[in-house]
Amino acid sequence: MAAVAGVNANDLQLERSHPQMLLRGKGRRDRVVPRTTLLGEPGITHHEPRPIFVGVRNERLTRFGATHIVRRAAAEAVPIRPALAHKPISPHIFRHSLAMKLLQSGVDLLTIQAWLGHEQVATTHRYATADVEMMRNGLEKAGVAGDHGVRFRPNDSVLQLCNC
């Protein structure tokens, strides 16, 4: 969220057939990503170095300000979605949700790594190991049955080989 909150108007490239924006990540890891929002935002002149996202004092939105906004919105949504009252809500949830949606849609880990700005693919790989449903689907596609197999029971000659 800090990278998105740090976007300036001059980081947007709107004239292209595929609009994009520059995100500045931790450790000076800059990346250009497709920009799917803000197209119709009034008052954005993309040649200015002013922040796109501002807080109540008209200064750049901080990560604490973004967290406050997300948590306030989640609290307002509790009457409609009561389960939100018991979940830890933060801007990072959106990042994780995006990564999982991309992964479940078949996007490869290297693309997700570039999108999220991870320095190493190992950091992105934890998303791949997190989704049990994708594991089940992979087993189904491979034709591997779940619990239809018969458990191996060694006979006496096999047990004698290991001196058990």
CA distances (Å), origin 51, targets 44, 48, 70, 94: 10, 9, 19, 21
- Position 111 pLDDT exceeds 80: yes
- Position 82 pLDDT exceeds 80: yes
pLDDT band with cut points at 50, 70 and 90 for residue 130: low
pLDDT in tens, 24-75: 766 667 777 776 654 445 555 556 667 777 888 888 888 888 899 899 999 9
What pLDDT sits at residue 37? 54
> Which positions ≥6 away from 81 have C-beta within 8 Å?
none
Question: Comparing C-alpha atoms, which of 91, 95, 122, 94 is closest to residue 109?
Answer: 122
Single pTM value for the model: 0.53
Question: Rounded CA gap, 68 and 106, in Å?
Answer: 33
Question: Rounded CA gap, 83 and 3, in Å?
Answer: 29
- Position 87 pLDDT exceeds 80: yes
